[in-house]
Amino acid sequence: MSNNLIELAKLVRYYILLGTKEAGSGHPTSSASAVELMACLCFGGYFRADLEDPENPNNDRLIFSKGHAAPLLYALYAAAGKVSEEEIKTLRKFGSRLEGHPTLEFPYTEAPTGSLGQGLSIGVGMAINGKHLDNLPYKTYVLLGDSEMAEGSVWEAMEVAAHYKLDNLVAILDVNRLGQRGETMHGHDVRAYGKKAEAFGWHAVTLPDGHNIGEIQKAYNEAGNIKEKPVIIIAKTQKGKGFPGIENADGWHGRALKGEDYEKAIAALGEVRKDIRGEILAPEKRVPAPYAPEGGERAVYKEPAATRKAYGNALVRIHKKHPEIVVLDAETSNSTFAEMFKKKYPDRFFEMYIAEQNMVGAALGLARRGKLPCVSTFAAFFTRAFDQIRMCGYSDAHIIFAGSHAGVSIGEDGASQMGLEDIAMFRAVEGSVVLYPSDAVATEALVGEAARHKGIVYIRTTRKDTPILYNESDEFHIGGSKVIRETKNDVATIIGAGITLYEALDAEEELKKQGIAVRVIDLYSVKPIDTETLQKAARETKRFVIVEDHVPEGGMGEAVRSALEGEDVRICSLAIRKRPKSGTPEELLRYEEISKEAIIKKIKEII
């Protein structure tokens, strides 16, 4: 087996060199350092997968957190006979499925990576799914680079993996010493990484020579015998291993070998056997554990209720129809009301603690394994996980994000707790949906719509109890809106959502008493937006006042302007333009000029 692995490692190096040479770019040196580690894993009898069925639920999962080592990923599957030498030559070319960093175009990619520090979190989600949900024997392997070990998200993942005793998770740390611009924090000190990992509750295996196949095999054997702890294999490697004059040399990150350097590296390989194929063992044949939740009853709302509470109730209610739901929360479940689901289905709820980046990454891992993660925290705190959120978009993941405590209307807690940029952030994610329900009835309906949708959905919820506007028979759908007040004599349209919708309705009542008729629209779907209804209102009223508890940049006002480009309508935006303070919600709405009084004043100005 060892001799065969040596030949396969040589073949993998050949494909790495060939692909990056043809591309004229890429990361051959970063790929070369992990060749033996990955060849032993895939072809040494440890990694088990059905290559004819990449989505087989029993397959082991392999995540390249160091996504710039994509040439190595593709070369492994070339050695396994699933990528031809001709296709290897298309690396990084437009239209090729072999992109510069792994994407879902390549069928063996578990999740798009390359934004460093995210792969281990994705692995945590996949491992949670295998151990705590589906009860399947598959293992999740994550290849990490030493540079990304400086990322806090990695250590968030480390602590949560230990907390959930993920003994089906194996991290493989490629300590090749050199990052993009020089030496990494610990250089080749594998013991430093080992001490950190053990302090976080992991079983650490250190390899002084990460290219010694016999020692690598011993490490994988040891990893397979550890129970109740995740395992990390920490291997000292050489960047550019096997490339004469380049091995362990600085200045070669992200550079393809060309000309004489390429010829020397090819010559150093010696004879390459292209006739051999790496064999990946078949997985066990098991079916996921059966699961049939009861669900819950739809609440009847008569008194004012917070939309965040309706979110929690809706999760319980729809779980029977959507058994794939799992709920993750960042130690805020008593405020987001995700705790309602936790109390009913504790085995489908995962406390992720104050570690939002890892929470989102783990949600992606769960989504890629067929679950529907519903992820909640304060709206403000999702901003720190935006990188992970945008990568969820590139992963075609179906995830519901619920951000509570949005806007200055949360009151006395002050600016640090007020989500004021969240709509802009989620609007910017490719293919996303942004929903902003105003009452509990709409919230319950829209949570159901979000569960039926496929993609990233953000639901913005409000801290304060709000009056009930709608009946259970009212329909809500993604891309819709509600015209709540309307006459033939309307001289302007007020557009609100969430807390500002009630200010708009109060303003409409006062204006009506003064003989001024205005239309009021509940823009509960900010993205996609109800262009048809807005265009009709623009033609009939000619004036819009958009009022939102959010900064103007990227918010509802800009969404409406984009939808009405070319329309003959005057658009005025009332939004958060002053630095917020602590105070009562009423004081803050007046201070920021998004209150009933500010709306009336603006309407009178424009007519």
Kindly list the catalytic residues: 356
In 10 A of CB 346, how many CB atoms?
Answer: 9
298 vs 293: CA distance, rounded Å? 15
**What are the contacts of 474-479 at 24+ separation with CB within 8 A?**
474/441, 474/442, 474/445, 475/445, 476/437, 476/442, 476/445, 476/446, 476/449, 476/524, 477/449, 477/525, 478/433, 478/435, 478/446, 478/449, 478/450, 478/453, 478/525, 478/528, 479/525, 479/528, 479/529, 479/530
Contact 422, 382 (CB under 8 A): yes
Side-by-side strand order, sheet with 518-522: 482-485, 518-522, 492-496, 543-547, 570-574
Both tokens of 214, joined, read: 């016999």
Contact 87, 95 (CB under 8 A): no
The residue ranges of DSSP E strands in 237-388, in sequence order, are 325-329, 349-351, 372-378
Tell the residue number behind the tokens 């159901």, with chain if given. Answer: 448
3 state SS of 430: coil
CA atoms 529, 534, 536, 539: torsion sign: negative
Distance of CA 577 to the CA centre of its chain: 30
Q: Which amino acid is at 113?
A: T
Tell me the angle at which helices 152-163 and 356-368 cross, rounded to the nearest 10 degrees.
70
